[in-house]
Amino acid sequence: MSVIAWAFGAALVAFSCWKLLKISGLLQPYMSPLGDIPGPPSPSFLYGNMHEIQNSETSIVREQWVDMYGPTLKYKGWLNVDRLYTLDTRAIHHVLTHSHDYPKMELSRYFLTQVTGNGLIVAEGDLHRKQRRVMNPAFGPTQIRGVTKIFVDKAHQLRALWTATLELTGGPARIDVLSGLTKVTLDVIGLAGFNIDFGSLNPNGHARHSELTDAFNVMFGALGDTRTSLFRAMKAYLPPLRLIPDSTSARVTAARKVIDRVGMQLIMEKKAEVIKAERTGEKDTLHSRDLLTLLIRANMSTDIPENQRLSDAEVLAQIPTFLAAGHETTSNSTAWCLYALAQHPAVQSALRDELLSVPTDSPSMDDLNALPYLDAVVRETMRLHAPVSSTMRYAAKDDVIPLAAPYTDRNGEVCDGIRVSKGSPIIIPILAMNRSKAVWGEDAHEFRPERWESTIETAQHMPGVWAHMMSFLGGPRACIGYRFSLVEMKALMFVLVRGFEFELAVPICKKRMLVQRPFVSDEMDKGAQLPLLVKPYVRA
Ligand code: HEM
Ligand SMILES: *[C@@H]1O[C@H](CO)[C@@H](O)[C@H](O)[C@H]1NC(C)=O
Ligand SMILES: CC(=O)N[C@H]1CO[C@H](CO)[C@@H](O)[C@@H]1O
């Protein structure tokens, strides 16, 4: 009797496990045809090659594997699941342009959704297409031209802050440029995104809005916690587990409430403003040019059919989306740009000469975009220090990914396509492609803005949306904010490099979190920082 009960129990348990594994998609990759693709051995059943990757600086280990196994390889992710890693431009182009068949990973979508709701970053399929269509106009060149003054004014505020610091010390000073830049980009996304001044460069900022950023920081912090919590990771794969609260979920729920309340109030105010401007026929006198207002206006535009418009909740989800996507990415890349200039004094002074040739302190977007060396410096920074160093997709159906260069599998067979099965994870190696010697030449890992003076023939096949680079990705899911952040970076560099000289202060290293962050080699425990020696620039 008890034997039968046991057998029945065991069968039930086995069945549930099988069912859960199937639902979660965890089993799929074990049946994956990636089997014969070459790649490094896996040192651990639980962690695969993940420890090697996390312990190395940014994408270096994977770039070494490319040297050993060729540009198309596989390695093992968590639980030894195969991951496809290829630098092949045609393969990556295929994955990026077929975004319907290659959606984002469930795991990262689940975590991001907690912070951003169902905003543009996490939306998939028709929902994504609908959101993108309504949102695209808000990020066009005309709109960015309209917010350039915000970028320049905030850059001047930072310059004044650093000048005050230098006056206190009476000479060159070690300044953590990252923290100042992080404040600027937060203020900028506040003003340009929602027309609210977070006032983080100015200690007497609005209390009401710090509520929003505090809540947002709780959310973003919680996102950071997840990498250590296996339980939270399991929740992403096994939805029923999500009903069980964990240590962070209460804080996240509270923060979510704040964001929803403050955000919805903001939307209602803006909606009223837009309706009023439309009614009085004063479209052009609508003062607010922030992204949120533009989005609300686009959502009301008659060119968009009623069923293709966004609900209030979807518009609300874009507020934390802009904050999450547009803040740290831009401050990190500007910090890396100053760092590169500190490493290359000749480039720094050539850039300063070009910037000083502009007669105004407050350049327009067109003034900034007309400076070729500034453009080359920004491109070179985005190439070498792409803040988002890689991303992931999975195959939603079985497919054969076409290749520009065939690979030789473990049996010595030459293959001109990669067979993937439903569920196979695929790495999009943004940084590694930006630095590929095959594409950029032997000096691929050197900072040399001059390379942009002529067209780079071998880079013409790169699938990126901007400058034949992957830094903002490509295809239907490329970064919607790339023009915004490029003009913002240029405005910051314009004001800061005209005002200061930058020198290296201490050795810096890189660590990949959600974005690539700089750390001081001897002070890893102090968190991200990028101290440079700053002195006022005095014209000879
Ligand atoms: C240097 C600055 C920036 C970099 C390097 C960057 C990079 C990227 C990358 C690589 C993606 C694709 C991520 C993926 O699919 O896995 C992305 C998407 C996105 N970015 Fe940016 N970004 C930057 C600035 C901004 C700014 C300023 C905004 C908005 C104000 C923004 C908004 C977005 C949004 C909404 C998406 C999702 C687009 C979609 O899925 O349709 N980004 N960004
Ligand atoms: C967008 O348009 C839809 C349909 O007209 C409407 O229900 C919704 O409230 C609008 N959203 C915003 C934030 O204006
Ligand atoms: C693929 C490739 O060329 N990778 C190079 C990227 O840059 C690093 C240095 O930063 C080189 O070591 C890699 O070989």
**Is the pLDDT at 72 greater than 90, yes or no?**
yes
- Identify the pLDDT of residue 488: 98
CATH number at residue 340: 1.10.630.10
**What is the atom index within ligand 1 of the atom nearest the CA of 131?**
41
507-539 pLDDT tens trace: 777 665 545 677 777 777 777 788 888 999 987
Q: Residue 84 domain-assigned?
A: no
Q: Residue 185, Cβ neighbours under 10 Å: how many?
A: 27
In angstroms, the CA 87 to CA 428 distance is 8
Listed in sequence order, the residues at least 6 apart from 107 whose beta carbon sits closer than 8 Å to its beta carbon are 233, 236, 237
pLDDT in tens, 11-32: 666 666 665 655 555 555 555 6
351 occurs within a structural domain: yes
Ligand 3 atom 7, closest CA: 445
Ligand lying closest to the C-alpha of residue 61: 3
Q: How far is the CA of 389 from the centre of ligand 3 (A)?
A: 13
What pLDDT was estimated at residue 228? 47
Which ligand has its closest atom nearest to the C-alpha of 139? Answer: 1
Residues having CB closer than 6 A to ligand 1 are 120-121, 132, 321-322, 325-326, 329-330, 333, 387-388, 391, 471-473, 477, 479-481, 484-485
Pairwise pLDDT comparison (503 vs 256), residue with the higher score: 503
Counting the structural domains of the chain, the total is: 1
Shortest-distance atom of ligand 2 to CA 299: 1
> Does 195 fall in a domain?
yes
Residue 398 Cα, ligand 1 centroid: separation in angstroms?
Answer: 28
Give pLDDT, residue 197.
84
Q: Which helix (H) or strand (E) segment is 96 a member of?
A: helix 89-97
Site to probe by mutation for ligand 3, drawn from 58, 336, 435 as the one with most ligand atoms within 8 Å of Cβ, is 435
Tokens of 503: 């020198």
Q: Quick check: is 83 in a domain? A: no
Residue 255 maps to a domain: yes
CA distance 214 to 255: 8
Distance, in Å, from the CA atom of 294 to the CA atom of 274, rounded to the nearest integer, reads 9
Q: How far apart are CA 527 and CA 131, in angstroms?
A: 36
CA of 18 to the centre of ligand 3 (A): 42
CA of 481 to the centre of ligand 1 (A): 6
The span from the CA of 412 to the CA of 78, in Å, is 28
In terms of pLDDT, which residue wins out, 431 or 84? 84
Is the minimum distance from the CB of 432 to ligand 3 under 6 angstroms? yes
Does residue 36 form part of some domain?
no
User: Which residue from 294, 300, 318 has its CB within 8 A of the most atoms of ligand 2, so it is best to mutate?
Assistant: 300
* 234 has a pLDDT exceeding 80: no
Pairing of strands 82-86, 72-76: antiparallel
Choosing from 58, 62, 63, 516 the residue with most ligand 3 atoms within 8 A of its CB, the one to mutate for a pocket test is: 63
C-alpha neighbours within 13 Å on the C-beta side of residue 292: 31
Identify the three-state secondary structure at position 383.
helix
Q: What is the mean pLDDT of the chain?
A: 85
Q: Which of 38-47, 199-208, 311-320, 368-377 has the lowest mean pLDDT?
A: 199-208
175, with CB counted inside 10 A (0-12, 13-18, 19+), is: buried
Q: Is 17 annotated as a binding residue?
A: no
The Cα 87–Cα 436 span in angstroms is 8
Q: What is the pLDDT of residues 245-268, one digit of tens each?
A: 666 777 788 888 888 998 999 999
Give the strand order in the sheet containing 82-86.
72-76, 82-86, 425-428, 391-394
Range of the domain at 311: 117-390+429-536
* Ligand 1 centre distance from Cα of residue 61 (Å): 25
70 CA → ligand 1 middle, Å: 29
Q: What is the mean pLDDT of residues 373-378?
A: 96
Cα(69)–Cα(39) distance, rounded to whole angstroms?
6
* Residue 57 domain flag: no
The reported pTM is 0.87
* 158 falls within a domain: yes
* Closest C-alpha to ligand 2, atom 14: 296
pLDDT band at 54 (very low <50, low <70, confident <90, very high): confident
Ligand 2: residues with CB < 6 A are 267, 271, 296, 299, 306, 309-312, 315
Question: What is the CA(299)–ligand 3 centre distance, in A?
Answer: 44
